Amino acid sequence: MTELPTHQLYLTELPVGVLTLLANDNAITGIRFGRIENETLNSVPNDLLLEAAHQLSQYFAGNLDQFDLPLAPSGTEFQRRVWDQLCAIPFGETRSYGALANAIGNPNAARAIGMANNRNPIPILIPCHRVVGANGAMVGYAGGLNIKQALLKLEGVLD
């Protein structure tokens, strides 16, 4: 039996509230809005978690528009393809679900794209907040539409 990597968590207070950052020894594996409690996680932050918190602070201060962190989201092959497309959306821009479906070569997959967005384990770093409805409408976000709007305002997409 192989031993699973140790996961660590770190709480950081940012303008959108408390975020719980999760990582293994090699990559960021999750971000949760709010606090999570789990006895199996080690709460002593490693250097990677501290760097993620620093980069997030710089992003919210308006000093960083691209993250440089190793990410290891857990998901299906389809979800990972969608998340790769999300990472390709530049800071300050948005894409529709349909545009993402076209980008992965499956123009009929807009709903599946929405489900993959919903399951994104590393929001903000994998910028699912940059996905909007076909008419530019603010639709669904795990952290709530108010946080999605705050992120898009920070990036200059909204006034």
Tens-place pLDDT, residues 88-103? 999 999 999 999 999 9
139, 106: one domain:
yes
Task: Classify residue 159: in a domain, yes or no.
Answer: no
* Separation of alpha carbons 87 and 81, rounded Å: 10
Structural domain of 130: 77-154
Check 21, 49, 128, 131 and give the catalytic one.
Answer: 128
- Report the half-sphere exposure of 144 (CA within 13 A, side-chain side): 7
* Per-residue pLDDT at 133: 87
Task: Classify residue 13: in a domain, yes or no.
Answer: yes
* Per-residue pLDDT at 43: 59
Q: Going residue by residue through the chain (159 aa), what tens digit of pLDDT does each one get?
A: 444 455 677 777 788 888 889 998 899 999 998 877 664 555 567 899 999 999 999 999 999 999 999 999 999 999 999 999 999 999 999 999 999 999 999 999 999 999 999 999 999 999 999 999 888 778 888 888 899 999 999 999 988
| Neighbour tally for 112: CB within 10 Å | 17
* Per-residue pLDDT at 37: 66
82, 13: one domain:
no
CB 102 within 8 A of CB 96: no
Task: Classify residue 81: in a domain, yes or no.
Answer: yes
15, 53: one domain:
yes
Say how many domains are in the chain.
2
Active-site residue flag, 87: no
145, 84: one domain:
yes
